Each structure stands twice: as C-alpha cells, then as structure tokens.
Amino acid sequence: MDKIKAFFQNKVVKVIAWVVLALDVIALIIGGATQVEITDAVGLVAGIVGAFALLIAFIAERVSKK
C-alpha cells in the first residue's frame, strides 16, 4: 500500500495526470465532440483516457492531504 501511496504522491504523476486530462478536454473541444458523438471509437478512447487521468489526479490529491 505504501508503494501505491508513494506513486500517487509523486509530483510527476500528478503533473502528467493533469496534463493528459487537459489535452483530452482540449481535443474533445476542438473536435467538437458532443455527448452523442462520443459513442464513436476515438471519442470513447479519449473519454476513457481522460477519466483515467482524472482518477489518478483525484487519488493523488486525496493521498497527499492525509
């Protein structure tokens, strides 16, 4: 468990997670993706990557507060 906490507390992990999330959102905005269009494969993959990045960033912030 300590290795997982150390991973999420790593500043590089936090920065990469936020950068990936920002790039994902920017790509969806530029592509003009709406909720209906996200069902296509590229939008779905981008959404999954974004959700994963958001999850990592969220966990990293929660772990660092304890």
pTM beyond 0.85: no
- Inter-residue contact 49 to 40 (CB < 8 Å): no
pLDDT of residue 23: 82
pLDDT of residue 66: 57
As given in the structure block, the two tokens for residue 25 are 């959102």
pLDDT of residue 60: 79
CA distance 52 to 66: 22
- Residue count (the chain): 66
pLDDT per position as a tens digit, 5-56 = 788 788 888 888 888 878 877 777 777 666 565 556 666 777 778 788 888 8
More confident residue, 60 or 38: 60
CA distance 60 to 13: 8
pLDDT of residue 11: 85
- Inter-residue contact 53 to 59 (CB < 8 Å): no
